[in-house]
Structure 1
Amino acid sequence: MFCQECQKRPATVHMTRIVNNTKTELHLCSECARSHQELALSMNFEPSFSIHKFLAGLLGTSSFPTEPVASPECPNCGINFAKFGEIGRFGCSRCYRTFNEGLEPLIRRVQGTTQHTGKVPRRAGGKLGVKREIEKLKTQLRQAVREEAYERAAELRDSIRALENKLQ
């Protein structure tokens, strides 16, 4: 796809604007996009992505705190949560355990949950598939008990026990 402005260079900047269910697309090369910065600003397009601004926006703050107020340091690499906000990444794998409480709300806000609910590779997901099936059966069991369908509840209980034995 070529630039809609000059028709000479490949389009590398793609902007989409939807106003009142009317979609407007603009495909520009980087040179033409620079000359249309005021258009980009009117479309709320920010050309440089900043992980710092992204994470700060998710946490609902204008920026991360600059002072390490009650912010623990990672015992392994010495980074604190304020520094994480500054650079956008942790210093080591131990940081995830150290900053777990601060990360959970962030992950929940981005993903909607802190539990993985996506696809799992077949060869690695055998136990996980069984655990998910057990959870599904337990939900059905609670529903059957609420409805006083005790024969169905007994069948579900036996299925759950069989799957739990299979896990062990």
Structure 2
Amino acid sequence: MNKQVMCEQCHKKVASAWVTKIEGSEVTKFSLCEDCLKAFSLKISINSQNLPLDSYFNCLNDKEFYPERLSNFKMCPKCQLSFADFMQTGLLGCPNCYQFFGQQLRPLLEEMHGSLEYKGKIPVWAPVTYVLNTELKALKNELFSLISQENYEAAALIRDKINTVKEKLTKA
């Protein structure tokens, strides 16, 4: 997995921002934690006005200021993958990403698969006999388990379901 980058200013916290400073022809790149970034006295130009960096970040923290873009820059705390990186590659970085990006993944998964609920490995186009045979096998396993637990009432219900599935198989 990705190694966490430490702040180059305080060397105590994990960096959450990467700054590129350009002065003339000299380019300097460095990583800062949130606290050091806020304390940083760099001036930036927004709409041809020189504003302190903290003014810029105050408007970024405003929830009404393109919240859908801000969510793309959240990074998984385990592997440092951003949602923008996921959208570019189509690959999540670690198991934690599923939970961390869950709110953003749900609509994508629902659009791709038609549902958020797992429906099994059987494709929709599978022949009816295949589906019924698979169901029959699962019911027989459940029946065996219930009999071994001496749960005969539940086993009788499963036996009836098995008979119903067998009838459907003969008609199919």
Q: TM-score, normalised by structure 2?
A: 0.30
Higher strand share: 2
TM-score norm. by structure 1 comes to: 0.31
